[in-house]
Amino acid sequence: MIIEPRMRGFICLTSHPKGCEQNVKNQIEYVKSKGPIEGAKKVLVIGASTGFGLASRITSAFGSNAGTIGVFFEKPPTEGKTASPGWYNSAAFESEAHKAGLYAKSINGDAFSDEIKRQTLDLIKADLGQVDLIIYSLASPVRLHPVTGVLHRSTLKPIGSTFTNKTVDFHTGNVTQVSIEPANEDDITNTVAVMGGEDWSMWIDALKKENLLAPGATTVAYSYIGPSLTEAVYRKGTIGRAKDNLEATAFTITDSLKDLGGKAYVSVNKALVTQASSAIPVIPLYISLLYKIMKAEGVHEGCIEQIQRLFQDRLYSGKPIPTDEKGRIRIDDWEMRDDIQEKVAKLWLEATTETLPAIGDLAGYRNDFLNLFGFEFAGVDYNADANEVVEITSIK
């Protein structure tokens, strides 16, 4: 079977095992090329199969020779259907880690559930004893609350008033106006329940209770701020409320880790093409303009460049970890540079269906989007039969 991208709306229904493997190998090579990082040796990554979480797992393993446990929610391949990309990524990651003599095991299931937390605690207990770094990198549209049984759905809505601005359908290149109705109180509560900090603190509490956190353990969750252009729908919208909550949770977790000398951080990362961000109106247009400028200035980064820099220059530089006035690590520093943002804001006003191919990086956006699913990688023969069952070694 030859696997081709099959698009529906903002998602791709197929993914390519060899291309996902190539993606993982490219990221591993990048991390190795940047030299060793004096980092954590036993790492738990929650949301480890794609995006920033996968990059965190790769950076830990191939930058610091860490043993890693990855938790994620992915679909294995079934009769006539490819697996989700995170499945292939994780299979490739484990295989490369094992070849390098590194411990790597994975748990596939709902990280919000008690059951998956239980399985993870048992695995740490049996294999690693304790962990010294916990990366929290979930991006999910829903959360079944383990205590109340309520199914919360997150939304991407402005708060207070209708938001109208430009957006692009990155498949067709059509730039149109989009209007998004404001959230109600339930939307806000639900989004905070899914993407806020409660589950992060539940994980850390559970680990601590069973003595699975090493002295000085660090935990990091990922956040986003972005420019005033996207503020109404992002940072001042429902998702922004969830990020406010996540950032506040870092302080309560740090308090709870005092006796261990541990610390919780939020790292504010750069806007990138991932499955999660492609679904947010306005953001794809912003990203296509941002990419154009950042590439021209020579400061463009993908997930792996962001996370490798986070680990090498911030978390494990040997110096005190620099934070902003709100205690956050800023690895979105290049995105937020005044000169970059001024240029993006100017292009924003000029962006139309006609001008965007020249002033924006639509081609780069599309390429990165296809890359998420294992397509468009150099060195992969996409005409070859790709009908293989791919297993994750530690999940049978």
Query: What is the spatial distance between Cα 247 and Cα 239, in angstroms, rounded to a whole number?
Result: 12
Residue 166, beta-bridge partner list: 177
Query: Is 49 assigned a ligand-binding role in the annotation?
Result: yes
The one catalytic residue in 103, 136, 234, 365 is 234
Applying CB under 6 A, the site for ligand NAI has a residue count of 29
Q: Which stretch binds Na ion (CB under 5 A): 135-143, 147-155, 224-232, 367-375?
A: 135-143
Helix boundaries (H) for the chain: 17-33, 51-64, 85-99, 114-123, 185-195, 198-209, 228-231, 238-256, 275-278, 283-296, 303-309, 338-350, 356-359, 362-372
The least distance separating ligand NAI from the CB of residue 225, rounded to whole angstroms, comes to 8
Closer to ligand NAI by CB, 75 or 208: give it: 75
Enumerate residues 63-122 that contact ligand NAI by CB under 6 A.
71-74, 86, 110-112
Strands 263-268 and 213-223: parallel
- The sign one gets for the Cα dihedral 319, 325, 327, 328 is negative
Which amino acid belongs to residue 355? T
| ∠ Cα 360 363 369 (to 5°) | 115
**Which tokens hold the place of 212?**
């699975």
Residue selected from 138, 315, 359, 362 as contacting ligand NAI according to rule CB under 6 A: 138
Query: Is 64 assigned a ligand-binding role in the annotation?
Result: no
Q: Which does 200 bind (CB under 5 to 8 A by kind): Na ion, ligand NAI, none?
A: none
30 catalytic per annotation: no
207 contacts 314 by C-beta, under 8 angstroms: no
SS3 324: coil
Applying CB under 5 A, the site for Na ion has a residue count of 5
Closer to ligand NAI by CB, 214 or 370: give it: 370
Of 246, 252, 149, give the one whose Cα is nearest residue 195: 246
Query: What is the spatial distance between Cα 235 and Cα 299, in angstroms, rounded to a whole number?
Result: 23
Under rule CB under 6 A, residue 233 binds ligand NAI? no
String marking each residue 261-300 x if it binds ligand NAI according to CB under 6 A: --------x-xx-xxxx-----------------------
Of 316, 319, 331, 321, give the one whose Cα is nearest residue 37: 316
Query: Is 318 assigned a ligand-binding role in the annotation?
Result: no
* Nearest position to Na ion, beta carbon: 53
Which helix (H) or strand (E) is 175 found in, with range?
strand 174-180
φ/ψ of 276, rounded to 5, equals -65, -45
The least distance separating Na ion from the CB of residue 46, rounded to whole angstroms, comes to 9
In the block, tokens 């353990």 appear at 217
Enumerate residues 16-55 that contact Na ion by CB under 5 A.
47, 51-53
Under rule CB under 6 A, residue 51 binds ligand NAI? yes
Enumerate residues 305-344 that contact ligand NAI by CB under 6 A.
none
Under rule CB under 6 A, residue 20 binds ligand NAI? no
Query: What is the spatial distance between Cα 119 and Cα 312, in angstroms, rounded to a whole number?
Result: 31
Query: What is the spatial distance between Cα 305 and Cα 302, in angstroms, rounded to a whole number?
Result: 5
Q: Which does 15 bind (CB under 5 to 8 A by kind): ligand NAI, Na ion, none?
A: none
DSSP 8-state symbol, 258: G
Chain contacts with ligand NAI (rule: CB under 6 A): 47-53, 71-74, 86, 110-112, 137-140, 222-224, 269, 271-272, 274-277
Binding-site annotation, residues: 47-52, 73-74, 110-111, 138-139, 224, 243, 272-274
Binding-site annotation, residues for NAD(+): 47-52, 73-74, 110-111, 138-139, 243, 272-274
| Residues annotated catalytic, as ranges | 234
Binding-site annotation, residues for substrate: 224
Chain contacts with Na ion (rule: CB under 5 A): 47, 51-53, 137
